[in-house]
Structure 1
Amino acid sequence: MEALKCQNLNKSYDGKKTYVIKDLNLTIEKGEIFGLLGPNGAGKTTLISMMCGLMKPTSGKISLNNLNFQSNPTEIQKKMGVVPQEYALYPTLTAFENLEFFGSLYNLKGKDLKNRIESGLKKVNLMDYRNRPIKDFSGGMKRRINLLTGILHNPEILFLDEPTVGVDIQSREVILSILEELNTGGTTIIYTSHHLSEAQNFCTQISIIDKGRILAQGTAEELINSVQPATNLEEVFLELTGNQIRNDA
C-alpha cells in the first residue's frame, strides 16, 4: 500500500523559470525506510518540505495515505512526524518542557504525555538531564531531543532531514536504533543524509536525486549492481552525480 505519492511535482521560487524540483514522480510504500540522497542543492530539503506540507508545490500533487493537504490538512498532520535538520527546540526550556510543549501540539496530555516523555528520555539516555535547559546540551544531546519531539505521538509516517548530522557515533547508533524500532512497529520513514554508508545499511529503498530529478531508485544492492564496477553506494553516487564540489546550500 502507498504511504506517499508525488505526481508531476514541480517547484520554482519567486516565479523563476528555474525549477528546484522538475516533473518528479515518486511512490513510497508503507513500511519502507526510504532514503532521499543527493549532493548539495539537489532539491532534497525542498522535496521533504513539500512532502510534509511546509511548502506548497508550484504544480503537481502529493498525497499521504491517499489524503491530500488541500482537503485533509489536520488529519494528515496527526499521522506524520517531522524532524528537521536544524534544531527545533527552545533553548531556555528544559528537555522535559520542550517535549511537553511539542507533545501538546499533537493533543497529548496528562499522564499519557508524561509517560511517553519519560520513556523517550530513557531510550536516548537523557532521563538524568530532563530538567536542564537545552542551551546547556551538546550537539548530540540536542539531536536526540530533536528526534523525540517528532515521534512522541507514534506517527504513521516520519520525515527526517539529516537526523544524524554532526553527532558522535554513540548518539548515531541510538538514533538509528530508535528509528529501526519505530519502523518495525509500522512507521514509514523518509530520510535524507550525506552519510552514504549509513544509508546503504539503513534504507530499504533509495532514490538518488540531482537538479530536482530522480536519477536512480532501488535497494542499495540494486543500485550498486546497476553501476559497474561499483562496490558501494558512494561509488554509485559519484558515478551518477559527478565528483565536482557543490557550493549550493
Structure 2
Amino acid sequence: MRTLITGLDCASAELIQYQIILERRLTLPLIQELIVLYDLTQRYQRELNARAGKAMAALGQEIRLTLTHRGVQLFLNTVILENTMPDPTVDVRLEAHVRSLEQALDRAFTELAEYRALMERQLTLPLIQDLIALYHLCYHYRIEFIGERKATRALEVMGAEVLNVLARKGVVPLEVRPGQLLDRSAQCPVGVEPCSAPSEDLQIVAVQRPGFTSPEGVLAKAEVIVKRFTTAPEALLSTTGES
C-alpha cells in the first residue's frame, strides 16, 4: 500500500509538470499565428494613409496586449517567448515516466487522451476568444473605411487571416440569413425595424456583428437587427430585452 501511495504522489507531481508543458505545446501554435497577424498590421501601418494606419495600429495594439498577457514580448520585429518553448529533454523524460506509471498502476492514465483534449479546449479558449474579438474589430473598421479601397482591402486580408486561424481550430462564423427567424441561443437583437405584418415579427433584417460557433457550441452570438410588429409606436422602445 505504501508503494502505491508513493507512486500516486509521484504521478500527481509529474502530472502538474506535464500540464505546464502541455499548456506550452497547445497554446504555442496560436501564439505564433498571432505574431504573424501582428507583423501584418505593422506592414499595413506603413503602407496605408494616416487614418487607416491608425486603425491598423489599434489592431496591432490589441494583438500586442494579447501576446503580452501570454508572456510574449515584441522588440523591433524580434520575438521573445518567455516560458513558452518546452525543453525537449524534459518532455521526453516526463512522457517516458508517465508511460511507466501507466503500466505500474494498472493503466491508471488510460484517459490521458481525453484529458489532453479537455485541456486543449480550456487552454486555447481564451486565445480563440481574443481572435474573435480581433475579427470583430477588423469587421468594424472595414465598415468605417468602406470608401477607402486600399484600407478596406487590407482589413479584408486581416479578417481572412483571422478566419483561417479560427477555422483550423474548428471555429466558424454562424450562418445568419435575412428573413430568418430570430434564434436567441445564437443571435442577440441590438436594433429593430417596424413591420406591418405579424408573420414578419422577429425576422432578421441585417447582421451588425457576426457570431461564431464551434463543435462545443456557440462562442459568440451574432448581433442582428430584427423586425417588430406593433400597433403602438411606443412598444418599439422595449425590444432587445423581450423574449
TM-score by length of 1: 0.28
The structure with the greater share of residues assigned to strand is 1
The structure with the greater share of residues assigned to helix is 2
TM-score by length of 2: 0.28
